[in-house]
Structure 1
């Protein structure tokens, strides 16, 4: 790969006209782009600008399994030459300790579960009591509202009946006053008519006496004198 003055060669020191930059980036072009030669790159050259190199020789340890602090299997050296140097056999103390720890943990879990169950039961009972109390309050409010409406309806009916009774009494009083006035007027008219009739009769009697009527045999003023 030949070196050019456009700074596209990697790796290598930066050219005098190129600024200090990341090695994966290319340098700015020359002020005379028509004199820049053609660039021919391969797949390996392109890949090294996009993906970092992978070191296949680095050994990565596998994750450590969560072994218990006291293993159930104990490795011991064998005294006989025919057997291998290390053999696996069960450690009863470790196994018993583990079983005891598991039983203790299970007992603790059962106790917590029982406690949660009891708390849930108590909460359910409290919710039931609260629900029953709310239902009683709603029923009481409903009955109170119903009684209030009934009282309001009865009061309204009482006021209406009282108003009708007062109107009836007033109407009867007006009718009685009107009837009394009419009776008084009629009585006055009859009295006046009777007085007028008596006066007219008296006047006729006097006139008949003065003129002399056929029945009385009167002759008149001259004859009486």
Structure 2
């Protein structure tokens, strides 16, 4: 092979190599961009899931706190051992008013639950969604029975103690469902935190490490 032909072939090989390098670099750049977008999407999903769980739990626990205040006030009205300063009837009226106000506050708070419940349903997973639905239904039952007990006391129904029993049963059921939701939510978030690192994040981490060498 003469020197001229060798030079031509060398130049051709060099041009092909440069083109291939450019193509590979472009492909890697596009792949990195896609992986970065996917990693950012994973992060956003995780944040939205955590936020939806927190909002639902805050809403349900605030509602249950109001109902607890109502139960406490109604129970004190019939607690023979509780100290009753001054006029017993006046104190009973105050406790009754507190119970009514607490039930009203619980109703107002529970009115906003469809929005936060829907957010959990969207974020999932299925087990957490089911636990959230069961909790919301149990909480509605707790509110309903506590409200009926309040009305029974307020109107002087003779079987008010039966409504008291149902209210406490509903409370215990809602407590169990609240714990179940908390456990499912915690498990879902732990799976998010401990699940195998997405390929997008692993690739980006390795790429950053290689560039820093």
What TM-score range do you get, normalising by the shorter chain?
Answer: 0.3 to 0.5
> Higher relative contact order at CA 8 Å, sep ≥6: structure 1 or structure 2?
2
Q: TM-score, normalised by structure 1?
A: 0.34
Higher-strand-fraction structure: 1
